[in-house]
Structure 1
Amino acid sequence: MLSALREFAYLTAPSAPTYRALMRLFYEAHLKQQHTLPPDEVLAGIEDSDLDLTPEALLLDLDALVAWGNLGRRRDTRRVGSLAEYARKRDLYYATARGLAIEGFLDAGLDAAEETVAVGAGIVSGMERQWAHLAELLSAPELHPDELEASWANLVRDFVALSGDVRLLALNLERKLSLEALDDFLEFKDAVRSYVERLAAELAGPGRRLRAGLQELSPDLRSRLLNTVAGVRAGRLTRGAGVLDAEGAERITVREWDGLLGWFSRRAEQGDGLEYGVVALRGAVSRVLAFVDAVHRTRELGLGRAGVLAELAAHLVDLPDASTAREELAHALGLSAPLHAPGVPPAQVVYDAWATPTESVLLSAVQKGKVAERFSADVGEVSREAKRAARDALQAERRRQRLLLELFEDGQLDLDGLILPDAAMLPEVLAWLSAGLHAAHDPENGAEGGAGLTPGPQGHQVRVSLTSSPALLRVPDGTLWIERGAALELLGQSEGVR
């Protein structure tokens, strides 16, 4: 276990690009069911690459991969026509199992394989029948070793698939139940639930009966089973063309038995066993049902909102004019509700936000603390860039105030038909209108004749008088329609302004 894994040496060797190209060639040939390659075919296979290899250098590289265990080599027994051809083709090379596994891992982009669940319904019941057949073979007066080994191999094969897929199924359902793929999940939700329910029922029924049979097997019959299976396997050829000796066969068989008995006998809190599978899969069924219920409730909520909007659209189409439709839409969507008017009873809230009086708030000055004591000399130093930025901002504000002041011709301004030269001036004009309208409905504001006063440009005051007709404001990038226009009058500077 502590020995170095030489098969990975070709990935970091000085000639790693050459070795990787050769191993990828053998890997792709293996995928095409061509398992052995002579040196001349290897050389022809890398002609399109940037590698410049001579036949002699190629043989040295192939021998290095053989020494590391990535490639194998065997004698070429084909008939050749000349001594030179024999010298070139005397060996055939093939990728070993470890070499193919490394290249397959690299070919997958260093990503783990997709975890899928492949066990079919009835697999646990089938394992129970296989164990019953094994028990009959063990108890029979005449033992049939080959049949016993084949039945045991089938049982172990199904067990490996079952134990792995129970774990993956619990993990995948925990991870993949999200609201990101609603349509895909809802299409097969019934199949997922029924499959998980059947598998959980099989684990709880035939699975526990099989566990009882494994635990009740006498030590003599268990030894007879393991020794017979190991004896049949001893001397067989392995996938790597090696012969399995008696010690190796016994070790593999005992490991299979320990894994089988341990998985079925393990407690639920220990995880990754029969009882854990029963608990995890039953919990997964509950999560599937809860997920489906949440999906349906979310869908119903969305469809309900869509239905309300559809009904609203049909109602707006039937209204006599656009002004009424705008009022109905604003009322339905809550656009006209004065959300900024605390203390107003709901019965007194009207649809027009401008006509709703606001609550006066008295703001008191905050006493300044001893700021100088916390003021450091480093902070007090202002850079030239900061001074320049402050000066530029002051000049820009003065230009903006001057442009706003120029809007008033002879101190008068009518919003209807007003053309603003800059879109940045629109918020200021709307702020005058909003503040003036609120002030007009404030009894403590001191306004006269239904007009409100609001601060204007360069310290002036603006008197806002509502009109009964709508107004159109034009800016360089569009037109703004206002349901009620207003006439603005520029007054003198307010007190305190110099």
Structure 2
Amino acid sequence: MRLRGGEFVPSIGPEHLRPLSEFKYLNAENVSRYRLIMRIFYENHMRLRYWLRPLDVHGAVLETGLIPGYTVEQCEQDLQVLHEWGNLECQQDKAKSTSIEEFKKKRFRYQMTAVAVEIERLLNALEQVQGYGGELDATPLETIARILRDIRERAQEMSRAESFAVWKELMDRFRRLHENAVDYYAQISSAKAEALMQTEAFLAFKEDLRRYLQQFALGLQQFGAQIEGTLRALSSDVVEAFLSSVTWGEMEIPNLEDRREFDERMVAHREEWRSLEGWFIGLDGDDSEVVKLERATKEAIGRVVRQALALQEQARAGVSRRRDLSYLARWFMSLDSIAEAHRLGAAVFGLYVPRHFQGEPPRSTDSADCSMWDEAPVFRALSPKTRGPRQRLAVSPVRDRAVQKAKATEAWHQAQANARDVERRWLREGTFSMAEFDELTVEDRGLLLQWVSRALSRADRRFRSPEGYQIRVEIPEHGERHCIVFSDGEMEMPNFKFYIWREHR
């Protein structure tokens, strides 16, 4: 990925569109023979035995017993085909030649290419896949916050080798955090997870899953804000010097396969740093991935709780009370008087759910000692719940509320304009403390408390306003407090000191 106009665009060239012959052996006619040979080479490669002769390969194939009747000639032909496809490198084996005739026969030995090794690693990993996997661990966030603090404080002091080591750890933690989180959310959103949530077995670990998601959300809130503040505090000069040191440290490691020049490596590292910033800060006013991840976590917690409640309600609704009710009915029938029936009903059912009807029914007496059972019944006509035709209701016209909507919109815009005016007025103050003011408006109180809340949630006690100002709040060292009068009462608070300046980058 690379940046263009503030947006990420794919870095795709003609080299990404060519066919890959190295994958042919996975779907060729003799796929079983080719895959077995490549797995034999891969297992020997992992044991640091890189070069194999045809006789070694042939003997290993026969030992597996998977391809009976396999000949040496077939083995040599298969090795040659794999060499033509780019999976194997061949070299003439001169060590076993004892005569000129044997030397002219050109016996070869074979080694896996780098692409073939990666293909077999991929196939080996795919064999272990049972789902999306992934995990929600806030530890990488803590490590990223610590590394960024080290870069801000010690970037000029780091050697090239140390800068490159720090960079590798930072990118490794960042990739692991992103990939694990994406895989885990794909796992709990998969069809298999949805089916599990419909069963009663889900109730057994519902609480563990909710607590797990909640702990990750707390880690995002704690360390995400720290990382965002550190990234904003890093100047472009410090970042550029650090990336330059990283690039030189990378080039000091001999690498026969990566022959890129300094400028190419530097561009790649800048794009990786830009991706890191975009993930934690956001680009062009868009929400950062941390905010999106926190939102997805809260939605997952809500979905888990709702599903568990639905399962519990379903379980309760499915319980048959027929036997209990039949026993109660026979009990009621066996009683001798209505008084005993009343006592049994009160013990079994308690108070009935009240139903309220509008209006005051006529009473036969106003005596407070008269029981409801002694009064005449009151009849109310209720509408039947049937599927047949119902009585048509009176149709009322749709009222035009355009005037009310226009007034409400105008009032909202006026409130927003007043809030912006209040904020701009305070931004022009520069440096001030709460002790300088004895009386303020309610709007001033809301804005200042919002600034205090945002600043105290960050480690450096500072944040950036939408207007481009940096605002830092200083807590009084000796706990001084100040009382301010508002139109709706008085409020005592610490004597906070505010530092406001324009950000230039």
**SS of match in other structure, 2:203:** helix
Contact 1:7 1:98 in 2 (8 A): yes
CA distance 1:2–1:179, change in 2 (3 Å) = closer
Aligned: 1:19 with 2:34: yes
After superposition, give the CA deviation of every residue in 1:177-221 in whole Å (9 maximum; x if it has no partner).
Answer: 445564543333222212212222222332133123224422221
| Matches of 1:297 and 1:58, distance apart in 2 | 65
Q: Choose from 61, 76, 79 the match for 1:62.
A: 79
Structure with bigger gyration radius: 1
Q: Choose from 177, 184, 187 the match for 1:162.
A: 177
Contact 2:135 2:184 in 1 (8 A): no
Q: Choose from 257, 271, 278 the match for 1:262.
A: 278
After superposition, give the CA deviation of every residue in 1:152-179 in whole Å (9 maximum; x if it has no partner).
Answer: 2111111111112222333333332445
Alignment-mate amino acid for residue 312 of structure 2: H
Counterpart position of 1:150? 165
Alignment-mate amino acid for residue 281 of structure 1: T
CA distance 1:198–1:255, change in 2 (3 Å) = same
Percent identity of equivalent pairs: 21
Using the TM superposition, give the Cα deviation of residue 286 of structure 1 relative to its aligned residue in structure 2, in angstroms.
1.3
Alignment-mate amino acid for residue 286 of structure 1: G
Using the TM superposition, give the Cα deviation of residue 124 of structure 1 relative to its aligned residue in structure 2, in angstroms.
1.3
| Matches of 2:229 and 2:61, distance apart in 1 | 59
Counterpart position of 1:287? 303
Counterpart position of 2:294? 278
Contact 1:71 1:93 in 2 (8 A): yes
Using the TM superposition, give the Cα deviation of residue 36 of structure 1 relative to its aligned residue in structure 2, in angstroms.
4.8
Q: Choose from 246, 251, 255 the match for 1:234.
A: 251
| Matches of 1:296 and 1:269, distance apart in 2 | 42
Higher-RCO chain (CA-CA 8 Å, sequence separation at least 6): 2
Contact 2:281 2:287 in 1 (8 A): no
Using the TM superposition, give the Cα deviation of residue 135 of structure 1 relative to its aligned residue in structure 2, in angstroms.
1.7
**Stretches of structure 1 lacking an aligned partner (at least 5 in a row):** 319-498
**SS of match in other structure, 1:91:** strand
Counterpart position of 2:114? 96
User: Which shows bigger deviation, 56-65 or 145-154?
Assistant: 56-65
Mapping of 1:45-444 within 5 angstroms?
A: 45-47=60-62, 48-50=65-67, 55=72, 58-73=75-90, 91-94=109-112, 96-98=114-116, 100-101=118-119, 104-105=122-123, 108=126, 114-140=131-157, 143-175=158-190, 176-178=193-195, 182-234=199-251, 236=253, 242-243=257-258, 245-247=260-262, 249-266=265-282, 273-302=289-318, 304-305=319-320, 308=321, 311=324
| Matches of 2:152 and 2:52, distance apart in 1 | 48
Alignment-mate amino acid for residue 61 of structure 2: I
TM-score (norm 2): 0.51
Q: Choose from 42, 56, 60 the match for 2:57.
A: 42
CA distance 1:202–1:295, change in 2 (3 Å) = same
Using the TM superposition, give the Cα deviation of residue 281 of structure 1 relative to its aligned residue in structure 2, in angstroms.
0.9
After superposition, give the CA deviation of every residue in 1:333-364 in whole Å (9 maximum; x if it has no partner).
Answer: xxxxxxxxxxxxxxxxxxxxxxxxxxxxxxxx
| Matches of 1:98 and 1:313, distance apart in 2 | 75
| Matches of 2:308 and 2:68, distance apart in 1 | 57
TM-score (norm 1): 0.52
**How many residues are matched?**
309
CA distance 1:225–1:74, change in 2 (3 Å) = farther
| Matches of 1:103 and 1:219, distance apart in 2 | 39
Alignment-mate amino acid for residue 301 of structure 2: V
Alignment-mate amino acid for residue 94 of structure 1: M
After superposition, give the CA deviation of every residue in 1:429-468 in whole Å (9 maximum; x if it has no partner).
Answer: xxxxxxxxxxxxxxxxxxxxxxxxxxxxxxxxxxxxxxxx
| Matches of 1:269 and 1:168, distance apart in 2 | 26
**SS of match in other structure, 1:206:** helix
Using the TM superposition, give the Cα deviation of residue 277 of structure 1 relative to its aligned residue in structure 2, in angstroms.
0.6
**SS of match in other structure, 1:93:** strand
Alignment-mate amino acid for residue 69 of structure 1: G
Using the TM superposition, give the Cα deviation of residue 82 of structure 1 relative to its aligned residue in structure 2, in angstroms.
5.4
After superposition, give the CA deviation of every residue in 1:385-423 in whole Å (9 maximum; x if it has no partner).
Answer: xxxxxxxxxxxxxxxxxxxxxxxxxxxxxxxxxxxxxxx
The alignment yields a C-alpha RMSD, in angstroms, of: 4.1
CA distance 1:20–1:126, change in 2 (3 Å) = closer
Contact 2:217 2:298 in 1 (8 A): yes
| Matches of 1:119 and 1:268, distance apart in 2 | 28
Contact 1:197 1:285 in 2 (8 A): yes
Using the TM superposition, give the Cα deviation of residue 80 of structure 1 relative to its aligned residue in structure 2, in angstroms.
5.9
Counterpart position of 1:347? none
